[in-house]
């Protein structure tokens, strides 16, 4: 089991991150080992609870835990004050205590929402993240960012609340729709580009083996192969990048900004296209391509990197072109609303070589416009 476990060690906390096939079966002993013996408030969504709830509830009840399950509607709109209030009413109505624990079983939506409920109820109770999407495994479940959306913007209300444990059972990915899986691969590829050239090479090898010839006309999709141990190994390697970054920079004072590679333009594209039109990972893939083009035009990276990254994104079923009809000037205006803007300057994360990025706040607007046109 030890080799499946990574550890986040920051200035304020330390917790295990486990990535393994069948990991959910080990949950009761892991909670016990952490001294978490109170009631279990299992938060999930209406898609995930019927699919994977039993794998959590059954072993916990067998081990003597009292489990209270609750599902919010699946989808981004649940990251709302309305659903947060419903969770507070459910937990306070059920006499939640500080010794209890919240389990977040689902994708990033459930993780962020349940994490924020746990951060705020009774001034904070423990949370354990049980991610079931690839995106949540490699990104959202690790690092303690929790929150909800506000009518004025995404993720604007929230708190840092580190989980006591992250348990990613990779068998849950077998039920994930292919488009959601591909969206998660964008963040895996991102981790290779920003920090781990070896991971990037492994992804190239995996793509070569698993490209689906039947789908080549639309851009081939890498489908999940249950039982191929390389998948969980690659996911663990991508998680290791996040674990390292948040251990060194828990509160995003510096290095953590690099995790936003592709997100400056990605968030703008997501917002302008209309939330739900593109999945987050799809918008990030386009954003990564644009960032790489900007870097090449500034002489920060060579054109070979741009082409290689584009080929890899395509191999994993991801887009690199803007959806039709998006206005470049409106996109550029939206990048100025990025949470990383400082003194009205956009801080771009730009690749230098595979595995290395720099942060630049001196990107001429004309180069951004040119990258959007190309
Ligand atoms: P999601 O949670 O909406 O999940 C995507 C869809 O897949 C949902 O319909 C869900 O019901 C379904 N699903 C989840 N697991 C499934 C499974 N195993 N089988 C079948 N269906 C399944 O979306 P997501 O992409 O996981 O997360 C996106 C959210 O994560 C956004 O709100 C984003 O802001 C947030 N996020 C947070 C962080 C962070 O650091 N906290 C980082 C990245 C993203
Ligand atoms: N997803 C970016 C971060 O956790 O900082």
Superfamily of domain 178-227+259-373: Dehydroquinate synthase-like - alpha domain (1.20.1090.10)
Q: What is the pLDDT of residue 217?
A: 45
- Composition of the chain by helix, strand, coil, percent to 5: 55, 20, 30
Which is the catalytic residue, given 187, 202, 270, 282?
187
Judge whether 109 is annotated as a binding position.
Answer: yes
Sequence-distant (6+) residues with CB within 8 A of 345 are 361, 362
CA distance linking residue 27 with residue 65, whole number of Å: 11
Active site residue 150: no
Domains 2-173 and 178-227+259-373 share a fold: no
Q: Is 115 exposed, middle or buried (0-12, 13-18, 19+ CB in 10 A)?
A: buried
Q: Which ligand is nearest to the CA of 44?
A: 1
Q: What is the pLDDT of residue 227?
A: 64
Q: Cα-atom radius of gyration of the chain, to the nearest Å?
A: 20
Q: What is the pLDDT of residue 225?
A: 61
Active site residue 79: no
DSSP 96: -
| Residue 131 alpha carbon, nearest atom of ligand 1 | 15
Asked whether 260 and 340 are in contact (CB, 8 A), the reply is: yes
Handedness of CA 346, 193, 231, 266 (dihedral sign): positive
Q: What is the pLDDT of residue 212?
A: 55
**CB count in 10 Å sphere of residue 173:** 22
Q: Where are the domains of the chain?
A: 2-173, 178-227+259-373
**What are the distances in angstroms from CA 95 to CA 90, 103, 117?**
9, 17, 15
Q: How far, in Å, from the CA of 29 to the mean position of ligand 2?
A: 29
Phi, psi of 126 (to 5 degrees): -65, 150
Active site residue 149: no
User: What is the token pair recorded at 67?
Assistant: 């489990």
β 356-360/348-353 pair status: antiparallel
Q: What is the pLDDT of residue 2?
A: 40
Asked whether 148 and 275 are in contact (CB, 8 A), the reply is: no
Closest C-alpha among 233, 230, 265 to residue 337:
265
CA distance linking residue 42 with residue 34, whole number of Å: 17
One pLDDT digit (tens) per residue for the chain, 374 residues: 447 999 999 989 999 999 999 999 999 999 999 999 999 999 999 999 999 999 999 999 999 999 999 999 999 999 999 999 999 999 999 999 999 999 999 999 999 999 999 999 999 999 999 999 999 999 999 999 999 998 877 888 999 999 999 999 999 999 999 899 999 999 999 999 999 999 999 999 888 876 655 554 444 446 666 667 788 899 999 999 999 999 999 999 999 999 999 999 999 999 899 877 899 999 999 999 999 999 999 999 999 999 999 999 999 989 999 999 999 999 999 998 777 777 789 999 999 999 999 999 999 999 999 999 98
CA distance linking residue 172 with residue 164, whole number of Å: 21
pTM of the model as a whole? 0.95
For 12: left if phi > 0, alpha if psi spans -120 to 50, otherwise beta; the answer is alpha
CA distance linking residue 283 with residue 76, whole number of Å: 15
Residue length, the chain?
374
Class of domain 2-173: alpha beta
CA distance linking residue 191 with residue 139, whole number of Å: 9
Question: Packing angle between helix 280-297 and helix 178-195, nearest 10 degrees?
Answer: 30
β 153-160/145-150 pair status: antiparallel
Q: What is the pLDDT of residue 102?
A: 98
Q: How far, in Å, from the CA of 122 to the mean position of ligand 2?
A: 26
Q: What is the pLDDT of residue 311?
A: 95
Q: What is the pLDDT of residue 154?
A: 82
Q: Which ligand is nearest to the CA of 79?
A: 1
Active site residue 145: yes
Which is the catalytic residue, given 30, 52, 263, 293?
263
């Amino acid at each position: 089991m030890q080799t499946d476990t990574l550890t986040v060690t920051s200035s304020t906390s330390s917790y295990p991150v486990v990535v393994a096939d069948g990991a959910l079966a080990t949950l009761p002993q892991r909670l016990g080992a952490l001294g978490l013996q109170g009631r279990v408030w299992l938060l999930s969504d209406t898609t995930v609870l019927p699919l994977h709830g039993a794998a959590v509830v059954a072993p916990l009840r067998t081990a003597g835990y009292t489990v209270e399950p609750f599902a919010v509607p699946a989808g981004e709109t649940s990251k709302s004050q309305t659903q947060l209030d419903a969770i507070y009413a459910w937990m306070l109505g059920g006499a939640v205590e500080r010794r209890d624990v919240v389990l977040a079983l689902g994708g990033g939506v459930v993780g962020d929402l349940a994490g924020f409920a746990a951060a705020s109820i009774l001034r904070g109770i423990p949370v354990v993240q049980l991610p079931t999407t690839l995106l949540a495994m490699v990104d959202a479940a690790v690092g303690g960012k929790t929150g909800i959306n506000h009518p004025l913007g995404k993720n604007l209300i929230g708190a840092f609340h580190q989980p006591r444990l992250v348990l990613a059972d990779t068998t849950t990915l077998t039920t994930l729709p292919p488009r959601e899986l591909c969206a998660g691969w964008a963040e895996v590829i991102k981790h290779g580009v920003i920090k781990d050239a070896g991971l990037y090479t492994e992804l190239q090898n995996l793509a070569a083996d698993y490209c689906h010839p039947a789908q080549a006309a639309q851009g081939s999709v890498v489908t999940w192969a249950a039982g191929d141990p390389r998948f969980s190994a690659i996911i663990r390697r991508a998680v290791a990048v996040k674990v390292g970054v948040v251990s060194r920079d828990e509160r995003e004072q510096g290095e953590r900004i690099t995790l936003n590679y592709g997100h400056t333009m990605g968030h703008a594209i997501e917002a302008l296209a209309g939330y739900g039109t593109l999945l987050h990972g799809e918008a990030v893939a386009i954003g990564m391509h644009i960032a790489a083009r900007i870097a090449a035009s500034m002489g920060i990276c060579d054109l070979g990197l741009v082409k290689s990254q584009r080929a890899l994104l395509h191999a994993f079923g991801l887009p690199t072109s803007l959806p039709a009809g998006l206005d470049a000037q409106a996109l550029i205006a939206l990048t100025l609303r990025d949470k990383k803007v400082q003194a009205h300057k956009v801080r771009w994360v730009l690749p230098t070589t595979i595995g290395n990025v720099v942060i630049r706040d001196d990107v001429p607007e004309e180069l951004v416009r040119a990258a959007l046109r190309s």
